[in-house]
Amino acid sequence: MRLVWVFLCAALTVVVRGDTAAKPNVVVILTDDQGYGDFSCLGNPVLKTPNLDKLHAESVRFTDFHVSPMCTPTRGQFMTGRDALANGASCVCSGRTFVRREMPTMAELFAAGGYRTGLFGKWHLGDNHPHRPNDRGFHEAVYHLGWGITSTPDYWDNDYFDDFFRHNGRVEKFKGYCTDVFFGEAQRWMQSCAAAGKPFLCYLAPNAPHGPFYVAEKYKQPYKHLAPDVAGFFGMIANLDENIGKLEAMLRESGLRENTVLVFMTDNGGTGGISVFNAGMRGAKASLYDGGHRVSCFVRWPAGGLRPAGDVPELTQVQDVLPTLLDLCALQPAKRSRFDGLSLAPSLHGKEQPALAQRTVVVQYSGLTQSDPAKWDAAVLRGNWRLVKGAELYDIKSDPAQKSDVAAQHPELVKAMRAQYEKWWAAVQPGLGKFETLDVGSDRENPACLTAMDWLAPKLTPCSQPFDVRLMGETVVKEGSLPGGRPQPVMNAPWNIRVTRDGVYRISLRRWPREADAALAGSVPAYKGVDGSFPEGKALPIAKARLRIGGFDATAPVSATDKEAVFETRLKAGKAQLQSWFHDAQGRELCGAFYVEVFRK
């Protein structure tokens, strides 16, 4: 019996490890809101990250690596190898979180090359068909909705512990802390792929350490001398680091480690930890200065013949990752693929890449003050030079903190960098008005639940935040402002949709999501989570609901006990805008429906 067991283990090892000619597996870890300075190996004087430090020591490190200053644009760039303004996913909400349908994604390209593909954690490139992970090439997906756990689209009252996530589009409850769940599910899936003899692409994208900074007390404890948010933020990274160690142990014990390309990077500049350490940079998340978009990127592949571990100082960007991985895995891009990034495979193998020294990179996304991209709202990067907003010039070699604007001393350089931006802008500008749509009536998703995060709003809306949805109460409406005196934003805008089939549609308007089980005009109770709480959802005096879609425009009364306002109409296939309104008894507009379900009967 013992001999049989030894034989089976040896056979499994052959399947899992393969040989040097076998296609490598790929694991990409993309953390959320972890800045360049949020690692002990990169100088943080307080935070301890022993497992990330070990990975850093074993990896080729791109030390001048840039992403977008916000999460969705970075993720779209990573998935397509295209600039954010070119691929369409340029903003965290407001109808600009979707990669253009015609652009192939990394998952689609790897799946076409014979890989199994899996996503675990944060997607943030669309919650509805045809933009969900499984619609865009992933065979397996366990993920939350929206920008994060607690965002408006995500399951109501998720609090990072024992939450409800989507599993291949279906709602399922998972036991445990969110980061533990995503790493655990990813490891189980990787092992199942290996047992089946299939190479895999695993995109492991935890929501950590994005706020709110909820984590078990034991992880916060070493940082209790700091401000509570900093302690929570560092605690989330400590838990993340622990999971990196568990992943490393699994890869080693299963025999997967040697022939696995492991890429670690983060999605934007620092947030919760910058008051402690920001690696000497100016700016943070959302900023066009280096602190907003320069992040860490480590690459390790023990069996891949890479150059010795160490730093690559040339200018690189997240758009380089997809062409690099295709080269490393000997996969061909689709005929319709084109990339704004360069393959870094030569650098990884220790060869010089003159193109890196000569390149110019543009960092631009749809910012916090408006969802429409504006000309010159960008950083142009060339070597050690940074041109910010078309006017400020910095030499980060002599001035890494970007304190001294030297534009006046280098007018010819400013002129040349502005000219390169003008050329870049001319290429992306014609497509900026082209919005992707959400499908309704599709057999792939019926009903479709639309949320206010995807309103086509001219400015960023707080409706991506459930706290604002909860606080949008009667007092707020009467006073015209939010608690603390903040001006009340316009809580309404249309959705861009595509009706996929002619038919009769049932459309229900809700203020609260279905799982909250609350009346339109009613309140919802406060919620006490494991670590943190949500305020009471205030009542609104909703008395009427209105729906407009295409040529259909109707109003319906709302009673005190109604949980939804339901309309039924025949729709023709094609693109349209859908908008809703809630009014009080005097006809005053209160807001739009934050949740709309569209069902083809």
218 found inside a domain: yes
If 0-12 CB within 10 Å is exposed, 13-18 middle and 19+ buried, where does residue 529 land? middle
137 found inside a domain: yes
Task: Tell me which DSSP letter residue 424 carries.
Answer: H
Residues 274 and 345 reside in one and the same domain: yes
Residues of the chain under the 50 pLDDT cut: 1-20, 474-486
3-state secondary structure string across 513-545: CHHHCCCCCCCECCEECCCCEECCECCCCCCEE
Give me the pLDDT at residue 337, please: 85
The two structure tokens encoding residue 457: 């709003």
Give me the pLDDT at residue 5, please: 35
Residues 417 and 448 reside in one and the same domain: no
Strands (E), 337-399: 360-363, 379-382, 385-388, 392-395
372 found inside a domain: no
Residues 421 and 477 reside in one and the same domain: no
The two structure tokens encoding residue 595: 């949740």
Residues 218 and 71 reside in one and the same domain: yes
Residues 427 and 450 reside in one and the same domain: no
CATH of the domain at 575: 2.60.120
Q: Which domain holds residue 289?
A: 2-358
Assess contact for 318 and 86: CB atoms under 8 A: no
Query: Model's pTM, two decimal places?
Result: 0.93
365 found inside a domain: no
Residues 110 and 40 reside in one and the same domain: yes
374 found inside a domain: no
Q: What is the DSSP string of 294-344?
A: EE-EEEE-TTTTPPPSEEEEEEEEGGGHHHHHHHHTT-PPPTT---SS---
For residue 250, give every residue at least 6 positions away whose Cβ sits within 8 Å of its Cβ, in sequence order, or none: 187, 190, 191, 256
369 found inside a domain: no
334 found inside a domain: yes
Give me the pLDDT at residue 370, please: 64
Q: How many domains does the chain have?
A: 3
Residues 28 and 147 reside in one and the same domain: yes
The two structure tokens encoding residue 275: 């008051």
Residues 417 and 534 reside in one and the same domain: no
Residues 521 and 540 reside in one and the same domain: yes
Residues 458 and 422 reside in one and the same domain: no
343 found inside a domain: yes
Assess contact for 279 and 38: CB atoms under 8 A: no
Domain end residue (candidates: 431, 457, 475): 431
Give me the pLDDT at residue 119, please: 98
Residues 265 and 342 reside in one and the same domain: yes
Residues 384 and 442 reside in one and the same domain: no
CATH of the domain at 33: 3.40.720.10
Assess contact for 196 and 16: CB atoms under 8 A: no
